[in-house]
Chains A and B, each alone.
Chain A
Amino acid sequence: GDSVTQMEGPVTLSEEAFLTINCTYTATGYPSLFWYVQYPGEGLQLLLKATKADDKGSNKGFEATYRKETTSFHLEKGSVQVSDSAVYFCALSDRDSNSGYALNFGKGTSLLVTP
């Protein structure tokens, strides 16, 4: 079945450091890929998405490129801020699978940015 694997956390960075959170996926069809962010005590919010190979999603300085050849969708940001501290979830939606429109999430990566 479909699955998402993302790097274990927690990740601790100093402000203005470069961020990479790795995400790889397994899917039978042609999934859409997502990064969601969860701030403490809140629900998940869409950060960015990509729906086909080589698409780049971007938002708030974060970027991720849909790489079909490596089945990856790594999240990057050039200069993190304290306000980026949150849990980041990689997810896929594969309409060709039994789960259809549902999201299949990775375990989440906790990011802490220190001043």
Chain B
Amino acid sequence: DAGVIQSPRHEVTEMGQEVTLRCKPISGHDYLFWYRQTMMRGLELLIYFNNNVPIDDSGMPEDRFSAKMPNASFSTLKIQPSEPRDSAVYFCASTPRGGDTQYFGPGTRLTVL
């Protein structure tokens, strides 16, 4: 199994630009989570999906952030427009139905200049 796949691994962009982060969960997993990691705030849940449906998006910082899961094997997290304070490592994780262990991708390190 390839595990959770995230792309890109690193992204450097300028303030105001649109950023799209991508995630492919483990095949057969029903739950997909997006987390953000910063030194100041640690690991924060942004949003999670069950069977492609957003269940809890209360952690999404503001309207500049949006997430979609058009099918069971793909999700995107979009920031538009990006700001320097969005600089962080963004992790995607997935969990099978009935399971409680989350499997994390390697993360995308985002730097907004």
Residues on A lying within 8 angstroms of B by beta carbon are 32, 34, 36, 42-46, 49, 51, 89, 93, 98-108
Q: Which chain B positions have C-beta within 8 A of A89? A: 43
- Size bracket of the B interface: 20 to 34
**Is B1 an interface residue when CB atoms closer than 8 A count as contact?**
no
CA distance A104 to B43 in the complex (A): 8
Q: Which chain A positions have C-beta within 8 A of B56? A: 98-100, 102
Chain B at the A interface: SS class = strand
A32/B91 contact (C-beta < 8 A), A42-B106, A102-B56 known: no
Q: Which chain B positions have C-beta within 8 A of A104? A: 45
A101/B48 contact (C-beta < 8 A), A43-B91, A44-B104 known: yes
Q: Are A99's CB and B45's CB within 8 A? A: yes
Q: Are B106's CB and A106's CB within 8 A? A: no
Q: Are B42's CB and A108's CB within 8 A? A: yes
The 7 closest A-B pairs by CB, nearest first: A43-B104, A105-B43, A44-B104, A107-B42, A102-B45, A43-B106, A32-B100
